[in-house]
Structure 1
Amino acid sequence: MISYKILKTVFLIFSPLIINAQNDLTKLSYDHLHQLYFKNVGNQKKQILYTNAYMTKAIRENNNIRKAKANYQMALFYYKSDENKAIQYLDSVIKYSKGTNDKFFPAAAYCEKGNFLKYQFKFKEAMINYNLAEKIALQTNIDYYYNVREYIGITKSEDLGEYDEALDIYKECFKYYKSKDVRSSKYSEDYQSIIFGIADCYKSLQNTDSTSYYNKLGYGESQATKNEEYKYLFVLNEGANQVLKKNYKVALDSINKALPKMIEYNNTGNLLAGYYYLGKSYDGLGKKANAVENFIRVDSIYKITKEMTTEFVDGYPYLISYYKNLDDKENQLKYITAYMIIDSTLQKNYRELNQLVYKEYDTPHLISDKERLITSLNNDKTKTYWGLGFSFLVIIGIGGFAINQYKTKKRYRSKFEKIIEEAKVNKKQEFNTENAIKIDTPKIEDIGIGEELINQILDKLNRFENEKGYLESNLTVQMLSSTFDTNSKYISKIVNVYKRKSFTQYINELRIEYAINQLQENNKLRKYTVQALALEFGFNNAESFSTAFYKKAGIKPTYFIKELDLTANN
């Protein structure tokens, strides 16, 4: 599982002060110039302007540590856009800050440089820079020394697979933080991050009891300090640990509690981990279709982020075998191709360290299967050429096709605008959702169910809607009646009378209403494939999702997403 250490160096290095601005920027204090730089994140021209003023002031005063900090700001400026340029500026930071005995530099520059090199899979160079950082920090800033030690531990555990060595480092940090006030704002997050690292290492080493111990410890600390994100990271990690213990139902419960929080905090790495271990849990319970749903979600995230790790790739052999058994050649070929691309990328990035992907299928086998499938699919296409030719002639003969398309497009646009307006109205009405459904006597007599029982089932249906229980895939009226501890016929009758629709229609419309809201609010979801969206909103496949969406909204989900993106861009 992937942990994320939030870098606080920038905020520790500088302590911004507010003063009145003057016409000559170099007359402003260094702290004020630094503050202006960060107030204008996204405005590159202004950021360059303030950094240049910072550098000019430092050169004029021949202040090396300030020159270093100006170069550090430039390194941050190129943090995401140009890693090599950022490294160049960090080298300048190191040059100007050597021998200054500053609390953070050049240690922070070496550490940041190590991070960039690690992202480029240059692990040996990264470790050299981490070691230089810890050597300097040991003399100038003992707290930062243990931050660097944690970066080394993360690299060894998550990138190099050296779990025993990483565990020793984490325990060294754990011992240090135990001597501090670990409930204080200064140390609490660092302490919890270390506990997570220890738990995750033990999980990778298959020591499930120790993993549970540290997950429980971390959960207690995060709850005491009200750190919700870390609390659910420990819940998720324990869910993954329960998969290793083969306690699959317990694992599902923990992972399903944590996943919404990973989405809320945009923690993509652990969202991927959650879906992967959901797949493993369902596989352990013999629910292959559910396992496939979640491994497909993992694939969807891979396609968006392009970030790959050895821990979560063995869902691909599972997908390949699943579709092979179904004789679904297209999907089999699709996931063989995806798996080969990931395998090739990981082998290239980790070649120097000989860290290769675990393969249920070796590469020659994959290549052979891929070629065979392509040949088979091409043969199938050849057989259909005459049929396609005939269909083409029929299509040519259809008059007024272009006019019909124009009218359809116009009608779709009108329906799209109507959906958006209805969504706005529904949001205003959400504040009145507590209004109870009034039950009249004729309806009670018509369906032959007592008033008290009707009220109970309606209350449960309201809770079911509020808790989004309808997102569970393969949901049936029998499953819901079992959850409600009542008769399935009662639920069917009450839904027919009080919701004015069949049970299937009721569930599908709830899912589509939720899908419409989520697609408007979360632009990342709009990048998912229709298949992945179908699984996200409780449907078994893209076709059933598209059909239900069209019945409810009058347009296809692909058209709706396209129009949302166009509206957002405009």
Structure 2
Amino acid sequence: MALNKLFNFSLVLLFPFLSFSQTSQKDLTKLSYKELNNLYFDNENNPKKQILFTNAYMAKAKRENNNIAKARGNYQIALLYYLKDENKAISYLDSVIKYSKNTNDKFFPAAAYCEKADFLKKQFKFKEAMDNYNLAEKIALQTNVDYYYVVREYIGITKSEDLGEYNEALAIYKECYDYYKTKEYRTDKYANNFQDIIFGIADCYKSLQNTDSTTYYNKLGFKESTITNNVSLKYVFVLNEGANQVLKKNYHVALDSINKALPQMIKYNDVGNTLAAYFYLGKAYSGIEKKDIAAKNYLKVDSIYSRTKEITAEFIDGYPFLINYYKSIGDKEKQLNYISKYMIIDSVLHKNYRNLNKLVRNEYDIPHLMSEKESIIYSLKKNNLRYYWGIGVLLLVILTVSIFGFYQFNLKKKYRSRFEQIMDKSSEKKNEQDNPDSIQVSTVFFKKDNIGIAEELITEILEKLNDFEKAKGFLKSDITIQNLSSLFETNSKYLSKIVNTYRDKTFIQYINDLRVEDAIENLKKDSKLRKYTVHALALEFGFNSAESFSAAFFKKSGIKPTYFIKQLEDLSEYKKLNNN
């Protein structure tokens, strides 16, 4: 990510330093912003000096009331908190955003939204992270098209590496690829971004098991990084092709590529790809039946995990191998150790909602592991104190499984409550419609704020909106605020403002909510409609895709349409049984 100058220090250590040499700091404020910025980054290994320079930068910005300079100063402080306090770093990034809004700066607040998204990803808040990436994307599109495609790459990385949405990520990477192809993509300005995109495409194809396309883009990336002398990235392509050859079962070719790449990963301190290299060496040696060497490489994967506490579902297959390996040589203590580690990693990945159920393998699902673990513990009971540790871990796993089951139970209960609320609201709405004497009060008189539109025009547009709703004009999939305002013989700004004020929604949310409400009522009444696929229902109610329909339905009701339909079917069956 973009935050590549990070420092680990305690803020407590800074307090005595902040009072040091006030005269020196006053002199520093006479320097230009560029000079202070350079001094800050030239001292990346000395956070005490950095805080001095950033304080001078901020003092100068406040004295001159320069908002964009205040934003950059807060950005520097956020960098200093990167490894120490993520929440404080986010707080300073929020200040960056506040001071840089509407400045048309080339990088802020877009970069601040990106960095904030990166912190949120580390906290496994993927929805909030994507929201911030999307804000960065919108701003960058207006202020800096080059940076817009950098943001698009970040979104692609998140979809690919964190969310497992490989097809969506691939589409984004190809969009970026087409953009960089129009640029001088071998210059210092674009070369690294272009080659990163090529890697993203290759890696997505690898995850999708499209090995031929993976090879094509790995070769292209190797060629481009060789031409531009990007040594570190060149060997990442070599490593990725080695992993790809493992998938093809060309194990000797894979070993040659990975062994060429591994020293470079270590040289450049690329921990993530070093782990990947050892993992795929393990798979390759396992493929040619060299179990002892495979085990040594998987142990190195485990060593990196033990040090960093970071691992993804892609790299956990080494643990089942180690469990079987030590079982085959009769080392029950190590077998027990790696069963425990494997179960703990399973628990962590489930807790963080990443790749749910991906860890449940054919042989090594959790019940099987628990049973095997109990057997090993029993055999070691008389002469090994690890028995007690094993029981503790076993209880921890059982507790974790119980908590997860309790969570699922509460989730189902919550969804059922939301379903019942929908049914109650629908009944209330029907009663209101069946009662012609119900009091109708013009929405205009509830709104006291002057929105800059004549009251007569507001009334006229609200009446047209009522007619539009009764006629179900919202079911047209191509409805937009522009064509509806044209139909109403008004302008889109007036229509947008009236919808925002009198419907308390954005125009898109207003249309989507009407569609969802219509879908709910029709699904309740029409059992045939409940047999439709989600895609067909989406088209029926004006949406362009199953995904957009599901998202709008969940946002409005708190449950997915598939769950709603199932509950309706269960309710219908229950009524039939009672009637009989």
Place the TM-score, normalised by the shorter chain, in its bin.
0.5 to 0.7
Distance 2:289 2:88 in 1: 51
In the TM superposition, residue 8 of structure 1 has moved relative to its aligned partner by 7.2
Residue number in structure 2 paired with 1:54: 57
SS at match of 1:379: coil
| Contact 1:68/1:92 (8 A) holds in 2 | yes
Matched with 1:343 is 346
Contact 1:113 1:126 in 2 (8 A): yes
Distance 1:28 1:176 in 2: 39
Q: Is the 8 A contact 1:314 1:358 kept in 2?
A: no
| Cα distance in structure 1, aligned partners of 2:236 and 2:273 | 8
Alignment of 1:8-407 (within 5 A): 24-350=27-353, 354=356, 356-359=358-361, 360-381=363-384
Structure 2 unpaired stretches of 5+ = 7-23, 386-580
How far has the Cα of 1:225 moved from its partner? 0.7
Q: Does the Cα contact within 8 Å between 1:130 and 1:148 map onto a contact in 2? A: yes
Contact 2:319/2:338 (8 A) holds in 1 = yes
Instruction: Supply the distance in 2 between the matched residues of 1:42 and 1:283 (Cα, whole angstroms).
Output: 42
Report how far residue 364 of structure 1 moved: 2.3
Q: Secondary structure at the match of 1:206?
A: coil
C-alpha distance in 1 between matches for 2:38 and 2:230: 27
Number of aligned pairs?
Answer: 367
How far apart are 1:168 and its partner, in Å?
A: 0.2
Looking at structure 1, the residues matched to 228 and 357 of structure 2 have their Cα atoms a distance apart, in angstroms, of 38
Distance in 2 of aligned mates of 1:161 and 1:216: 24
Distance (whole Å) between structure 2 residues aligned to residue 164 and residue 247 of structure 1: 26
| 1:95–1:6 distance in 2 versus 1, CA, 3 Å | closer
Counterpart amino acid of 2:217?
A: Y
Cα drift, residue 44 of structure 1: 3.1
- C-alpha separation in 1, matches of 2:271 and 2:5: 23
Aligned mates of 1:251, 1:56 — CA distance in 2: 56
Q: Is the contact between residue 58 and residue 64 of structure 1 (CA under 8 Å) also seen in structure 2?
A: yes
d(CA) in 2 for partners of 1:190, 1:367:
47
Matched-pair contact (CA < 8 Å) for 1:68–1:94: yes
Cα shift at 1:355: 6.3
Cα deviation 1:43-101 (Å, max 9, x = unaligned): 33332222222112111111111111110010011111111110000000001111111
- TM-score of the aligned structures, taking structure 1 as reference length: 0.62
Q: Secondary structure at the match of 1:308?
A: coil
Amino acid at match of 2:209: Q
Q: Tell me, in whole angstroms, the C-alpha distance in 1 between the residues paired with 2:3 and 2:63.
A: 31
Find the residue that maps to 2:269 and give its secondary structure.
coil
- AA aligned opposite 1:79: Y
Gaps of at least 5 residues in structure 1 are 11-20, 383-570
| Alignment partners' CA distance in 1, 2:267 and 2:87 | 32
Asked whether the 8 Å contact 1:346–1:356 carries over to 2, the reply is: no
Q: 2: distance between equivalents of 1:370 and 1:321? A: 13
Q: SS in structure 2 opposite 1:338?
A: helix
CA distance in 1 between counterparts of 2:248 and 2:127 reads 35
Higher relative contact order (CA 8 A, sep 6+): 1
SS of match in other structure, 1:152: helix
Give the letter for the 1:277 counterpart.
Answer: Y
Letter aligned with residue 66 of structure 1: A
How far apart are the structure 2 equivalents of 1:97 and 1:297? 45
After superposition, the Cα gap between the structure-2 partners of 1:24 and 1:340, relative to the gap in structure 1 and judged at 3 Å, is: same
Indicate conservation of the 8 Å contact 1:275/1:294, yes or no.
yes
Q: TM-score, normalised by structure 2?
A: 0.61
In 2, Cα distance between the equivalents of 1:258 and 1:24?
Answer: 49
Q: Which amino acid aligns with 2:359?
A: V
Q: Kindly tell me: are residues 321 and 8 of structure 1, through their superposed partners in 2, closer, same or farther at Cα, counting changes over 3 Å?
A: closer
Render the CA deviation track for 1:149-174: whole Å, top value 9, x for unaligned.
00010111111110000000000000
Deviation at 1:9, TM superposition (A): 10
* SS of aligned partner of 1:380: coil
Aligned-residue offset at 1:381: 4.2
- Separation in 2, partners of 1:355, 1:379: 35
Tell me the percent identity.
70
- Three-state SS of the structure 1 residue aligned to 2:381 is helix
With over 3 angstroms needed to count, the CA separation of the structure-2 counterparts of 1:358 and 1:172, relative to structure 1, is farther
Once the two structures are superposed, what CA deviation does each residue of 1:426-467 show, in whole Å capped at 9, x if it has no partner? Answer: xxxxxxxxxxxxxxxxxxxxxxxxxxxxxxxxxxxxxxxxxx
Give the Cα–Cα distance (whole angstroms) in 2 for the partners of residues 199 and 145 of structure 1.
22
Q: Post-superposition shift, 1:358?
A: 4.2
Task: Go from structure 1 to structure 2 and tell me whether the alpha carbon gap of 1:72 and 1:22 turns closer, same or farther (over 3 Å shift).
Answer: closer
Aligned-pair distance for 1:26?
1.8
- C-alpha distance 381-210 of structure 1, shift in aligned 2 (>3 A): closer
What value does the CA root-mean-square deviation take over the aligned residues? Answer: 1.9
Q: Map 1:419-458 onto structure 2 (within 5 A).
A: none
| Counterparts of 1:91 and 1:152, CA distance in 2 | 20
Q: Distance in 1 between matches of 2:25 and 2:235?
A: 47
Cα offset for 1:243?
0.7
Aligned counterparts of 2:360 and 2:212: Cα–Cα separation in 1: 25
Distance 1:358 1:212, change over 3 A: farther
Distance 1:355 1:143 in 2: 39
Output the CA distance in 1 between the equivalents of 2:5 and 2:339.
43
